[in-house]
Amino acid sequence: MTDRRWTLAHGRHLDLGGKAQVMGVLNVTPDSFSDGGRYDALDRALAQAERMLAEGAVIVDVGGESTRPGADPVTAAEEQQRILPIIEALAGRDCLISVDTYREETARLAVSAGAHIVNDVWGLQRDPAIARLAAETGAGLVIMHTGREREKLSDVIADQFAFLQKSLEIAEKAGVAREAIVLDPGFGFAKDAEENLQLMARFSELVAFGYPLMAGTSRKRFIGHVTGRDAGERAAGTAATSVILRLQGADLFRVHDVAINVDALAVADAMLARQQPAVES
């Protein structure tokens, strides 16, 4: 896989492609589906961030509102109150910081506080002003696919292209640099177990977009459907999906359990490095 430089805010960058990169999930919420309430105090959140970085994460993704189905919405002020102190504290450390939000106001304050990346689970289609913010600040932008609040196409890949092409048009019109964009197919977001498995099996078709790809399968319900395990017991299943998706072209992996995924991806990368292109006769 060829390295592609992902340009980020505050003059930072991350090379994607040649080595799998891991984004650690830091939910500072009381109600996230697998770790709600565990890291909603500043000291515990920072300790978890340090733990994930020590285990090999290169990005800490800070979120202040649960995205699980049926979660209670929070106000922008509440979201900001939860995440900004953590982002400010992490900004003094040598790590990359992502903010998981779909609100332009929150994203702008987070980037100002030190965040390098905006991770938008609504793919710019809930608040398109996030695209303008990314263009103005140079922030890296994760554009995620979702099936929520709309009618999906029956084919999982066709629906990816229909939704994400619209998102990319929003980004282009706002002036977001191509080098700032990573796409995320949104495993688990209004997708049932069969759709998630189909998406995983056909993930390589998304390489046609020409952008780096992020996979966010961590502890998702479809892994529980396959393994029969509860959310907190899905680390091994998640690592299996990470390897499968790495072999199909994923560059970046958003996970709760960093160490097991870093190790699994290291093995996948070692194999990929030894694959030789076919020699033409």
- Cβ pair 170, 126 in contact under 8 A: no
Q: How many alpha carbons lie under 13 Å from residue 59 in its C-beta half-sphere?
A: 31
CB-based contacts of 229: which residues, under 8 Å, 6+ apart?
Answer: 223, 237
- Cβ pair 1, 21 in contact under 8 A: no
Is 254 an annotated catalytic residue? yes
Distance from C-alpha of 180 to C-alpha of 91, rounded to nearest angstrom: 20
Token pair for 277: 């292109």
- Cβ pair 6, 182 in contact under 8 A: yes
Q: Which of 191, 219, 220, 234 is catalytic?
A: 220
Tell me the CA distances in angstroms from 206 to 67, 165, 211, 214, 279, one per residue in order: 23, 12, 9, 11, 26
CB-based contacts of 239: which residues, under 8 Å, 6+ apart?
Answer: 257, 260, 261, 263, 264
CB-based contacts of 145: which residues, under 8 Å, 6+ apart?
Answer: 123, 159, 160, 163, 164, 167, 183, 184, 185, 186, 189
Token pair for 141: 């932008």
Q: Which of 82, 103, 246, 254 is catalytic?
A: 254
Distance from C-alpha of 245 to C-alpha of 251, rounded to nearest angstrom: 9
Is 166 an annotated catalytic residue? no
- Residues labelled as active-site residues: 220, 254
